[in-house]
Amino acid sequence: MWRTTIKLKHFILNINKLAETLDLAAFHAKPVGQLSHHTKFTVDEAYDIQAASMERRYERGEKFIGLKMGFTSKAKMVQMGIHDMIWGRLTDAMLLEKGQPLLLEKFIHPRAEPEICFLVKKEIVSAVSLEEAPEYIAGVAAAIEIIDSRYENFKFTLEDVIADNCSSAALVIGEWHDPTLPIGDLKIDLEIDGEIVETGSSAAILGNPWESVEAAARLAKQYGQTIPAGSVIMAGAATSAVFLKKENIVKAVVEGLGSLEFVVK
């Protein structure tokens, strides 16, 4: 009998090649097929791919500015069909300054989601409890995250999205506020062109956004990433994310933390 297929027994996962695929997809704003469709990899290997793809950005001169948590709310889990919390890395190139437009041509199929952001006061090098977390935080702000999956049709598995730096693409941060303000149950609205398109509460973020700081510290420690003083932690979206179109005016309003907006060009 002739064999018609040959099975490779000693398959070696090419972390750098997979990282390059995702990095180039982001760089050229050209989507790629899901990695999981041709390669099997674990959650830990997905974080290795993420780290390797971020190394390529750092080599181009981008600077690490903080972490983002993902799937910390039910609304997001349901929208994307993923049931585990994830985390990704943010760089200075992703940060939109006040008044700076989001240039559509730099993205594949960007979506916006309203978030709460924390400013780190003291370097976080290991897990911190919910009680200890405020000692490490200098400020809290309303924020908008722009996510842009590098995968066709914004479809992915848990491993795919982690490898893709959790769809991180851009972020806008509002005015910093005193972190002792109560933030456990604030009304959060996302408006497009003056209409509320999504509404939720900060309580949707793990029951309380401070839980996201605890989770970020724990996961960063697990994967060997410290969170330096001056960096930010995006707590995760409180609502589903909304696709963006040219000329959209996108605004987040968070009760007690004010509002922020940007224009899509």
Considering the complex, what minimum distance in angstroms separates the CB of residue 207 from ligand OOG?
A: 15
Q: Does 237 participate in binding Mg ion (rule CB under 5 A)? A: yes
Q: Does 148 participate in binding Mg ion (rule CB under 5 A)? A: no
Contacts of 124 (CB under 8 A, 6+ apart): 136, 216, 217, 220, 226, 227
Tokens of 146: 């722009």
Residues 76-135 that bind Mg ion (CB under 5 A): none
Residues 139-198 that bind ligand OOG (CB under 6 A): 145, 147, 149, 161, 166-167
| CA nearest neighbour of 82 among 20, 188, 154 | 154
Compare residues 76 and 89 and give the one whose CB is closer to ligand OOG. Answer: 76
Residues 71-130 that bind ligand OOG (CB under 6 A): 71-72, 76, 80, 113
Compare residues 239 and 248 and give the one whose CB is closer to ligand OOG. Answer: 239
Report the amino acid identity of residue 1: M
Compare residues 13 and 95 and give the one whose CB is closer to Mg ion. Answer: 95
Candidate segments 43-51, 69-77, 122-130, 256-264, binder of ligand OOG by CB under 6 A: 69-77
- Residue 48 three-state SS: helix
- Opening angle at CA 238, ends 236 and 242, nearest 5: 95
Kind of pairing between the strands at 187-192 and 258-263: unpaired
Residues 207-246 that bind ligand OOG (CB under 6 A): 236-237
d(CA 31, CA 108): 7
Interacting residue with Mg ion among 145, 160, 189, 214 (CB under 5 A): 145
Buried b (16+ CB within 10 A) or exposed e, 18-36: bbbbbbebbeebebbebbb
Interface contacts to ligand OOG, rule CB under 6 A: 68, 70-72, 76, 80, 113, 145, 147, 149, 161, 166-167, 236-237
Which residues lie near Mg ion (CB under 5 A)? 145, 237
